[in-house]
């Protein structure tokens, strides 16, 4: 069984969020990029576990991004995985990213395509589903566990207010979240091995974007906290009622 | 221009979020020059329930009363909705930004070659193209995204607008689509739903605890406050990691993202990764014994004090308030 893991890079969670060029571009100055946490801790680590237990034969990693994304791909390779592919274009349009990944995956016989549930920068939570749509594969979103036996996957997924267990026949696209695996730290051997693993560059099929970000803005700053003492709980409740109007 | 809205149901009944999306679809139709508002309903739902959609602004309902849809299979759902889009001639498709809406929206984007804005927090602006505001950077900023394709999809963050009930009535019509069993490739084998509680993603009031509560045995005082408010419980990540509380309560960057009217954070420091999941809450109350806790910077109201002392008093005050206002 072959697994393809979709890896997005994302600004480190403590990065300062600011914009330039008249609020049309994200200010990358001083920002360090990490592997999108859902892709790393859940999709990638679970794929590696499936390989380690002999369920999967190969794990490939794919990203859609420019050369700047290679550092993050090396980090991902240091955790494990056999080969990485970078599709050489940058876009924040779901349709472009998913179409490029689907075009790459189409004839390569991946039984499972794993994505994170959401990128922590653009928060679309949709690339996985759109890949499934382009490939006309089944899709299970927001999975919290994944096992495979033969050609059948057993997947737990989040539903409103709980969880549901599903089975589905491969090939399958899954978006992964918390619960799927435990975070790992790459070891020295992995880091050394990653240096010589292939990081292939694939030219894009040049799908046209269907969306375009025209501007960014920041939420209005909070005006400051209003403090109450332990003996002013009635006043606090009254404020929640008459000022905030939430109760 | 005609607008289509996918209306999600739970075992045959609509939740508030469903009415919110229908309202949003109706308002969007108005803003883009008027037209039909077609609701798509899949699976077993009574006519009585469906009739309510008209009151929230649907002019037409396409109902596919096929029990195969009683279990969620994203591919089959998306194919049925795509057929509805064709049938209604819709140019804008609205879904909720929840677990089923997000899955369906992504597949539909591929099938309809439609630009998608997922995580919308406002109505589309049409004075310069079709532009929708959405959250980015986990609630730390907004992006205004222009959709340039013919068909456009919007996934609306739940709890953005309060649904308003009106007078209208919708005409029911059958949805014409034939799906093979292969389209329903997902088989449900078990379900584990927390009964009786409003799910976090829908809760208007949330009471949340962090490591400051010291241990699972102390959650009783938080539960009491939750009950007084009628709130759903949440927690910080270390609390879920230590198995003090179930995983589905964990909010933040790696847990759930919520947008309640009221978020009460007790014994939570306010780390940036925690805030990422909750800073779209309309009102935030922080209870922490450390006046320097970063959470106070993101708070509207605060109490500097020991949770074990504050919580019982706050619960009492809420109960007193409720008794006086009922
Ligand atoms: C990549 C990444 C992702 C993460 N994702 C998440 C996430 O999704 N969600 C999340 O929550 N965290 C997340 N974290 C962890 C986050 O950084 C913090 O470590 C975590 O939120 C801290 O939890 P806490 O506030 O409960 O505990 P602490 O930071 O230990 O804070 C406890 C607070 O309780 C107060 N306190 C102590 N005793 C009392 C008392 N008696 N009465 C009142 N107050 C008291 C203290 O003053 C303190 O402010 C993530 C971290 C990383 C690196
Ligand atoms: N540029 C990209 N390259 C590869 N995978 C991506 C890219 N963008 C998003 N993904 C994958 O899709 C998931 C959901 O992203 P999004 O739909 O943007 O929230 C991520 O967790 C990644 O697994």
pLDDT of residue B113: 98
For residue B101, say whether it is annotated as part of any ligand binding site: no
One DSSP character per residue, chain A reads: -EEEEE--EEE-TT----EETTTTEE--TTPPEEE-HIIIIIIIHHHHHHHHTTS-SEEEEEEE--GGGHHHHHHHHHH--SEEEEES-----HHHHHHHHHHHHTTTT-SEEEEES--TTT----HHHHHHHHHT-EEEEEEEEEEEETTEEEEEEEETTEEEEEEEESSEEEEE-TTS-------HHHHHHHHHS-EEEE----PPPSEEEEEEEPPPPP--PEEE-GGGHHHHHHHHHHTS---
Rounded to whole angstroms, the Cα distance separating A71 from A34 reads 9
Would you kindly state where each structural domain of chain B is located, as residue ranges? Answer: 3-183, 205-324
How many Cα atoms within 13 Å fall on the side-chain side of residue A71? Answer: 7
CB contact under 8 A, B190 and A213: no
Rounded to an integer, the average pLDDT of B147-162 is 95
pLDDT of residue A45: 97
Partners of residue B286 in chain A, C-beta under 8 Å: 225
pLDDT of residue A21: 96
For residue B259, say whether it is annotated as part of any ligand binding site: no
The ligand 1 atom nearest the CA atom of B255: 8
pLDDT along chain A (247 residues), means of 10: 98 92 95 96 97 97 97 96 97 97 97 97 97 97 96 94 92 94 91 94 96 95 92 97 95
The two tokens of residue A163 are 């969880």
User: Do residues B92 and B120 lie in contact, with contact meaning Cβ atoms separated by under 8 Å?
Assistant: no
B3-183 belongs to which CATH class? Answer: alpha beta
The residue of chain B nearest to residue A19, with distances taken between CA atoms, is B141
> Is B196's pLDDT higher than 80?
no
- The CATH superfamily of B205-324 is TPP-binding domain (3.40.50.1220)
> Is B309's pLDDT higher than 90?
yes
Rounded to whole angstroms, the Cα distance separating B314 from B223 reads 12
For residue B269, say whether it is annotated as part of any ligand binding site: yes
User: What's the Cα-to-Cα distance from B68 to each of B10, B42, B242, B271, rounded to whole Å?
Assistant: 14, 9, 39, 44
The ligand 2 atom nearest the CA atom of A5: 23
Rounded to an integer, the average pLDDT of B156-162 is 91
User: What's the Cα-to-Cα distance from B111 to each of B103, B130, B175, B191, B320, rounded to whole Å?
Assistant: 13, 20, 18, 29, 54
pLDDT of residue B139: 84
Tell me, in angstroms, the distance from the centre of ligand 1 to residue B301's CA: 19
B215 phi, psi to nearest 5 deg: 180, 160
Min CA distance, B278 vs chain A (Å)?
13
Share of chain B above pLDDT 90, in %: 84
CB contact under 8 A, B254 and A132: no
What sign for the dihedral angle of Cα B288, B292, B297, B298?
negative
Strand partners, A149: A152
Partners of residue B320 in chain A, C-beta under 8 Å: 234, 237
The residue of chain B nearest to residue A23, with distances taken between CA atoms, is B143
Q: Is A183 on the interface with B (CB under 8 A)?
A: no
Domain annotation for chain A: domains and CATH numbers: 2-217 (3.40.50.620)
Per the listing, tokens 């819709």 go with B90
> Is B326's pLDDT higher than 80?
no
pLDDT of residue A135: 97
Partners of residue B193 in chain A, C-beta under 8 Å: 159, 161-162
CB contact under 8 A, B205 and A246: yes
> Is B141's pLDDT higher than 90?
yes
Q: Is B46 on the interface with A (CB under 8 A)?
A: no
Min CA distance, A173 vs chain B (Å)?
11
Rounded to whole angstroms, the Cα distance separating A135 from B155 reads 22
CB contact under 8 A, B97 and A125: yes
A94: preceding bond cis by omega (within 30 degrees) = no
Partners of residue B227 in chain A, C-beta under 8 Å: none
Compute the count of residue pairs across chains A and B with CB atoms less than 8 Å apart: 293
- Residue B316 binned pLDDT confidence (cut-offs 50, 70, 90): very high
For residue B63, say whether it is annotated as part of any ligand binding site: no
Q: Is A174 on the interface with B (CB under 8 A)?
A: no
The ligand 1 atom nearest the CA atom of B250: 9
> Tell me: the pLDDT tens digits for B8-31?
998 899 998 999 999 999 999 999
pLDDT of residue B181: 87
Min CA distance, B324 vs chain A (Å)?
12
Whether B3-183 shares its CATH topology with B205-324 is answered yes
Tell me, in angstroms, the distance from the centre of ligand 2 to residue A116's CA: 7
Best interface-test mutation with A: which of B73, B82, B107, B188 has the largest number of A CBs within 10 A?
A: B107
- Residue B34 binned pLDDT confidence (cut-offs 50, 70, 90): confident
Which residues make Cβ contacts (< 8 Å) with residue B258, sequence separation at least 6? B200, B201, B203, B206, B234, B251, B277, B278, B280, B281
pLDDT of residue A242: 96
Rounded to whole angstroms, the Cα distance separating A67 from A60 reads 18
pLDDT of residue A90: 95
The ligand 1 atom nearest the CA atom of B277: 8
For residue B267, say whether it is annotated as part of any ligand binding site: yes
Q: Is B138 on the interface with A (CB under 8 A)?
A: yes
> Tell me: the pLDDT tens digits for B36-50?
999 999 999 999 999
The two tokens of residue B225 are 């406050």
State ipTM: 0.93
Q: Is B150 on the interface with A (CB under 8 A)?
A: no
Rounded to whole angstroms, the Cα distance separating A61 from B213 reads 41
């Amino acid at each position: 069984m072959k697994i393809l893991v979709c890896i997005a890079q994302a600004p480190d969670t403590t990065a300062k969020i600011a914009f330039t060029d008249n609020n049309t571009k994200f200010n990358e100055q001083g920002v360090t990029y990490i592997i999108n946490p859902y892709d790393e801790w859940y999709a990638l680590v679970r794929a590696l576990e499936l390989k380690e237990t002999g369920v999967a034969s190969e794990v490939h990693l794919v990203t859609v991004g420019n050369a700047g994304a290679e550092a993050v791909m090396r980090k991902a390779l240091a955790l494990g995985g056999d080969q990485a592919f970078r599709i050489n274009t940058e876009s924040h349009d779901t349709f472009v990213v998913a179409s490029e990944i689907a075009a790459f995956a189409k004839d390569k016989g991946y039984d499972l395509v794993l994505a994170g549930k959401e990128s922590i920068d653009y928060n679309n939570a949709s690339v996985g589903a759109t890949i499934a749509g382009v490939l006309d594969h089944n899709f299970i979103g927001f999975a919290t566990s994944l096992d495979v036996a033969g050609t059948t996957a057993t997947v737990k997924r989040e539903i409103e207010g709980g969880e549901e267990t599903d089975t589905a026949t491969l090939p399958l696209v899954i978006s992964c979240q918390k619960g799927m695996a435990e975070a790992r730290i790459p070891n020295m051997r992995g880091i050394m091995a990653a240096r010589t693993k292939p990081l292939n560059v694939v030219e894009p099929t040049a799908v046209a974007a269907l969306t375009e970000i025209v501007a960014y803005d920041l939420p209005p700053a909070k005006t400051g906290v209003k403090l109450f003492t332990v003996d002013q709980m009635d006043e606090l409740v009254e404020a929640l009622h008459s000022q905030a109007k939430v109760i | 221009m005609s607008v289509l809205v996918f209306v999600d149901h739970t075992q045959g009944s609509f939740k508030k979020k469903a009415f919110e999306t229908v309202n949003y679809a109706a308002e969007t139709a108005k803003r883009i020059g008027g037209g039909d508002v077609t609701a798509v309903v899949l699976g077993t739902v009574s006519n009585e329930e469906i009739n309510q959609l008209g009151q929230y602004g649907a002019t037409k309902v396409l109902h596919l009363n096929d029990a195969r849809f009683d279990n969620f299979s994203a591919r089959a759902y998306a194919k049925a909705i795509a057929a509805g889009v064709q049938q209604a001639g819709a140019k804008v498709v609205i879904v909720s930004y929840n677990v089923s809406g997000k899955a369906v929206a992504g597949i539909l984007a591929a099938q309809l070659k439609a630009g998608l804005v997922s995580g919308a927090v406002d109505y589309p602006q049409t004075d310069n193209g079709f532009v929708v505001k959405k959250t980015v950077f986990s609630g730390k900023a907004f992006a205004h995204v222009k959709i340039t394709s013919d068909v456009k999809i919007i996934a609306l963050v739940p709890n953005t607008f309060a649904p308003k009930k009106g007078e209208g009535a919708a005409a029911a019509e059958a949805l014409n689509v034939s799906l093979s069993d292969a389209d329903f490739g997902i088989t449900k084998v078990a379900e584990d739903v927390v009964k009786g509680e409003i799910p976090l993603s829908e809760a208007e009031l949330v009471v949340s605890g962090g490591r400051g509560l010291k241990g699972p045995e102390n959650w009783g005082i938080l539960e009491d406050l939750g009950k007084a408010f009628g709130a759903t419980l949440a927690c910080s990540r270390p609390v879920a990691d230590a198995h003090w509380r179930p995983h589905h309560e964990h909010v933040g960057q790696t847990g759930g993202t919520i947008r309640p009217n009221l978020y009460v954070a007790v014994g939570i420091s306010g780390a940036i990764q925690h805030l990422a999941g909750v800073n779209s809450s309309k009102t935030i109350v922080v209870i922490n014994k450390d006046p320097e806790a970063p959470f106070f910077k993101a708070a509207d109201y605060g109490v500097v004090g020991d949770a074990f002392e504050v919580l019982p008093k706050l619960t009492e005050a809420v109960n007193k308030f409720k008794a006086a206002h009922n």
